[in-house]
Chains A and B, each alone.
Chain A
Amino acid sequence: MPLTDADLVARVLLDDDHHAFAELVRNHQSAIRGLLRQLTRNDLALADDLAQETFLRAYKHIRSFRGEAKFSTWLYRIAYNCFREEARKRKELVGIDETVLEAQQDPQTTDPALKHDLMHALQLLPLHERSAILLCCQNGLSHDEAARVLDIPLGTVKTNVLRGREKLKRALAAWGPA
């Protein structure tokens, strides 16, 4: 029977077990690296550096994980903080403004493939809306969990998800359900 995150965390706490921590990394690396790739607009090298920093911080501070939230939520929070720190250093990672979004929504210039359009529209969202959409709609976090990860009020998360969805729907109007 596979061990749960709680079991693995307990092993790391009790015995500083590197194998148990490696198992935790294996279980969550795809989600964390995937999120970071999308936050960094597909800068794979930067996303992997941030993912590595995320897991190293998680290991260093694992004693402060008290199991009140899911381990994955805790990791998302660390990952988002790593990203935010890096974004502060590199101003260009912080969201593109609305005028750029409007200008790039011309259907003539977009790729006909839905996947491409969706990813394109997602990457044009301002950072706060993109983060909320990625966490809630793509990674399945509740609004409450996303508020913890992003360290913003619950109402702000709901607003950001709503606005992000509206923009995505507008950008993908041609693709909507039949």
Chain B
Amino acid sequence: MDEELQEDWLDARLREEAPYVDDAGFTAQLVQKLPARRAAGPSFRGAILLAITIFACVVTYFASGGGYFLISAVDTLATWPLWMVCTIAILCGIIATVVAAGAAWSQAREEML
């Protein structure tokens, strides 16, 4: 009980002594150092990326004679042995996993600041 009372007393003194720091121009000075406002928000950037991707797809489609190269690639793939298709699929999966893990790790590091 005595111990508890002493702890409460100590915590109360510590809270009392928490320094109040007057702003005194700190905020104004800091705001001047903030990087300039971004010209375009993330959604706008996303829209630009999407538009460029669609445009590139359309150009590729017409430039390749109506996407004939795709049909030809699927035909070639169909002639490959099953084990080779499976191996390529697994390799693609591993590469995608490594890239995603790298991105997640980098994001987690950023959040740690």
Contact = CB atoms under 8 A, between A and B. Distances in A.
Are A and B genuine complex partners? Answer: yes
Interface of A: 14-16, 18, 21-22, 25-26, 29-30, 33-34, 37-38, 48, 51-52, 55-57, 59-61, 64, 77-78, 81, 114-115, 118-119, 122, 133, 137-140, 151, 165, 168-169, 172, 176-177
Contact of A138 (B7, B17, B28): B17
A169 B20 contact: no
Nearest to A173: B6
Contacts of A14: 41
B10 A138 contact: no
B23 A118 contact: no
Contact of A26 (B20, B27, B33): B27
Contacts of A51: 26
- Describe A's contact surface by its main secondary structure: helix
A177 B13 CA distance: 11
Nearest to B31: A22
Contacts of A26: 23, 27
A16 B21 contact: no
A169 B37 CA distance: 50
19 contacts: A15-B41, A25-B26, A25-B31, A29-B21, A30-B22, A33-B21, A48-B26, A55-B30, A59-B34, A64-B107, A78-B113, A81-B112, A115-B17, A118-B17, A133-B14, A137-B11, A139-B18, A172-B10, A176-B6
